A = this chain, B = another copy of it.
Amino acid sequence: MASSQPMASIDLGQVEELAAQLRVDSVRSSTSAGSGHPTSSMSAADLLAVLVGRHLRYDWDHPEADGNDHLIFSKGHASPLLYSVFKAVGVITDEELMTGYRRFGSRLEGHPTPVLPWVDVATGSLGQGLPDGVGVALAGKYLDRLPYRAWVLCGDSEMAEGSMWEALDKASYYDLSNLVALVDVNRLGQRGPTELGWNLEAYARRAEAFGARVLTIDGHDLAQIDQALATAADESAGRPTVILARTVKGRGYSEVADREGWHGKPLPEDMAARAVAELGGERHLLVRGPLPQGSIVSPVAAAEPVPSLPGYTCGERIPTRKAYGDALLTLGRINPRVVALDGEVSNSTHADEFANAYPGRYFEMFIAEQQMVAAAVGLSVRHYIPFASTFAAFLTRAHDFIRMAAISQANLRLVGSHAGVEIGADGPSQMALEDLAMMRAVHGSTVLYPSDATSTVALTLAMADTRGISYLRTTRGGYPVLYGPGESFPVGGSKVLRSSDADRVTLIGAGVTVHQCLAAADQLAADGIKTRVIDLYSVKPVDAATLAAAARATQGRLVVAEDHHPEGGLGSAVADALLAARVPQLRLSHLAVRKMPGSGTTAELLDAAGISARHIEAAAKELLAEQ
């Protein structure tokens, strides 16, 4: 059985054939690859067959069409099923499926990524697809104002991740009737039964309590599935829908159905042959479901006249977090696609300036940092320009989401305030001392840490045009503005604040330590020791040329001071750059937060950490005393 013209909005008899094809192809592709998750695909094949054949409104020839629904596999390990769908709709060939899946150089990776044009976000770390879908649905309902839906296939195991409940909480808070979670309750996880097994009532109570409309069905009864998807498409309830589908892992092949020990294992060839036979053999149906309802480009508010940038007077004491707020507000005026999110601390991060001015483009995520980052990823899918902020320390909560966002090719701007011991009395729980290491190690990331208000504004504006994951670290306290309004701050650059031909040591800081370096330079100058001072505001990419020139000019003597643990931050960035540049005779003194801090004033804590001006001065003198 084969057809060369795709069938549109097939009937349930054809859906049954399609479901069988999806199962057969899930088995074939994973067996051919020698790895993959056929049984986790087979449990959800009926759900996907009905969805793709009759409900998903998607123009497969134009995956970027504004009106397209969004299909997200939160259970990304069911990639054989997703790729079998792609074959069934004719966007990949059977040959690609059979020879590409999980192979080197192929776009059909072990878990879906946006290397494929029909994939919005990378999944495979469980509990992230539904949170991402919340972001897509937010865009649809509040920004695009288009009738597309986000359909998210979830596993039952991943309902143990708190992030799934953050997602449902925010979905109901924001009345996301355009979000549908299909939960494939096949009762078996990787190592054995799931926590709740087939207790669909338990799942239903939870999802309802979190504000969802819940539909409980037999996930292998095509009519029940069809009815549930039609009900989900009726958005009058004003709530997200959770479809709890009781399914059988490995459904369709009696030798593995509902059996433990078959998670993540391809069938051996002989079993695969028997499975295909039991499923009625290979099929090559070509199927297309309904097209999207129009591709109206939503009316986006016209940009306001370009405002003048926030300007500050040199010497004025302005917290960089405040300058961030000012810059974000300006960006909001310049570019209507700029949106902002915050984790219930917008009055501290100063995202509240934007929130007050542009409430329609601000999403309060309350204290749910994972969901905040995931929502930003979803907004990025729809080409919005999200800025997400919280205390820098609390961005560690979303580390796995940030890591996955890089694989998702998302363009995110993350902003962490209250960095380092500088924050003072609140103590170590609120002090980001690991964030630079975390953000530098993210693939393709940009890491910025300005020392004053002028540079903060410039870098915030630059972030709007920066691809990938960019991160701005801001400071709690107010410090003197160092730069006039005319200065430029390219990403990857630095500023040499003090320089002469007689410099004997280079002092390198970023953020708060720039001011400590300047104070140390003054003291050293008073003692007749000239120093070069570098504001290394771009931690990644780093200005290797300026660093190397300074190191050579000062006979390899450098002091790096950072308000961060010694591993992976500013000192690492400098060391990596100078080693790569083959600067000879490096004598680097690295001042960082090496002891567990407590509470105190900023001055007390910077000094106790050994990163204050007097420590920088002493380190410089020690370098000069070294042989």
- Write the residues of chain A forming the contact surface with B, with a CB cutoff of 8 angstroms: 33-36, 76, 102-111, 113, 115, 122-127, 157-158, 160-166, 169, 173, 189-191, 194-195, 202, 205-206, 208-210, 344-348, 352, 366-371, 393-394, 396-397, 399-400, 403-404, 406-407, 424-430, 433-434, 437-438, 440-444, 540, 565-569, 571-573, 575-576, 579-580, 582, 584-588, 590, 596, 598-601, 604-605, 608, 626
Contacts and interface: CB of A to CB of B under 8 A. Distances in A.
Contacts of A166: 160-162
A593 to B, nearest CB: 9
B568 A105 contact: no
A125 B608 CA distance: 23
Nearest to A263: B347
Contact of A599 (B102, B122, B125, B443): B102
A161 B580 CA distance: 42
A579 B575 contact: yes
B604 A104 contact: yes
Given A210-B206, A403-B393, A584-B585, A425 B102 contact: yes
Contact of A425 (B33, B407, B437, B443): B33
A262 to B, nearest CB: 12
A429 B209 contact: no
A457 to B, nearest CB: 23
A134 to B, nearest CB: 12
Contacts of A158: 367
A567 to B, nearest CB: 4
Given A368-B161, A407-B596, A399 B438 contact: yes
Contact of A403 (B107, B208, B396): B396
**Residue among A107, A202, A346, A582 having the largest count of chain B Cβ atoms under 10 Å:** A582
- What number of copies of this chain does the assembly contain? 2
17 contacts: A35-B426, A104-B598, A104-B600, A104-B601, A106-B598, A125-B394, A157-B366, A160-B366, A161-B162, A161-B397, A162-B163, A162-B165, A189-B344, A190-B348, A403-B434, A568-B572, A582-B626
A28 to B, nearest CB: 16
Contacts of A576: 566-567, 571-572, 575, 590
A600 to B, nearest CB: 3
B111 A157 contact: no
A167 to B, nearest CB: 8
A190 B345 contact: yes
